[in-house]
Amino acid sequence: MVTGFLGCLGAIKENKCLLLSFFIVLLVILLAELILLILFFVYMDKVNENAKKDLKEGLLLYNTENNVGLKNAWNIIQAEMHCCGVTDYTDWYPVLGENTVPDRCCMENSQGCGRNSTTLLWRTGCYERVKMWFDENKNVLGTVGMCILIMQILGMAFSMTLFQHIHRTGKKYDA
């Protein structure tokens, strides 16, 4: 919001300082995004490892009090993605007990279907399903990323164009 405010106010008031600040902030954001993207791909194995570990630790909080949001999130993901656990349904055994999984892991969801049930469960882990979803939708995600990149570059180009125009015309303000 602050970045957009700098750009809008700088353009409306034709203020070189605000336009230059807008350009610099957009440049810093763009460079940070590129660095994070490169680091993500360089350390992909560690990201996968840590994500699995953190998700499994999150499973342990499933039945604790004050974690209704976490419980609902796991239930929604398992129901929508047709998956169970992080790597597979056995991830739930240390949390809920032997041969017990959340009811949302059942292919036909009903009250208590996750107790002592191993036959009609989603076998695929949610981590793999989410990775498959990202892989299936990488074109859409790439297109959205490219659109954001183009918008940032256009914002930088227009702010510099206006900055140069103001500089050439010699507008000066007493403020």
Q: Check: pTM over 0.85? Answer yes or no.
A: no
Predicted confidence pLDDT, tens digits, the chain (175 residues): 988 898 999 899 889 999 999 999 999 999 999 999 999 889 999 988 999 999 999 888 888 888 888 889 999 999 999 999 999 988 998 888 888 888 888 888 778 887 876 668 888 999 999 999 999 999 999 999 999 999 999 999 999 999 999 989 876 654 4
Measured over the CA atoms of residue 62, residue 67, residue 70 and residue 75, the dihedral's sign is positive
* Per-residue pLDDT, 148: 94
DSSP of 125-168: -HHHHHHHHHHHTHHHHHHHHHHHHHHHHHHHHHHHHHHHHHHH
pLDDT score for 117: 66
Distance, first Cα to last Cα, the chain? 24
Domains, the chain, in order of start with CATH, read 1-141+155-174 (1.10.1450.10)
- 8 A C-beta contact, residue 84 and residue 124: yes
